[in-house]
Structure 1
Amino acid sequence: MTVNLGSLDRRIRVVLGALLLILPFISGMAIFESGAITAVSVIAGLVLIGTSAMKFCPLYRVFGIRTCKL
């Protein structure tokens, strides 16, 4: 795997991933009353944090996008 995520992109992914992980449990929003929506939110948050930690996004590779400097 080659690195294709830049530092700003990684920071944004960590913040959004953390929000998606935390929001269903502390927000009390009606949208998260459904178990399916909560599961999707948690999975998306984990994927965002995981891709940030690995510095690699498979979709970026498919579309030929690189946000990192070489």
Structure 2
Amino acid sequence: MHANVGSIDRIVRIIAGVALVVLAFVPALPLAASPVLQWGAVLVGLVLVMTALVRFCPLYALFRLSTRKVSH
């Protein structure tokens, strides 16, 4: 498993992931109105955070993509 998530990508994933998890529990938003949307947002948010922490995205690997800078 080779790292394929770069630094800026990691920051964006962490911010977006944490935001999704937090916003899923704000009662005034439509995400909290439906349990399916709420837990879907939590799941996507947690996946974003986890892929940022381990610096590996399986979807990137599937399509042979990488946002990591290659050092020579």
Partner of 2:49: 49
Q: Following superposition, which runs of at least 4 residues in structure 1 exceed 4 angstroms of deviation? A: none
Aligned to 1:23: 23
Given that 2:27 and 2:33 are in contact with CA atoms closer than 8 Å, whether structure 1 keeps it comes out as no
Q: Residue 28 of structure 1: CA displacement?
A: 1.4
Greater RCO structure (CA 8 Å; 6+ sep): 1
Partners in 2 of 1:10 and 1:27 — Cα distance? 28
* TM-score of the pair, normalised by structure 1: 0.93
Number of paired residues?
70
Bigger helix share? 1
Give the gaps of 5 or more residues in structure 1. Answer: none
Unaligned runs of 5+ in 2: none
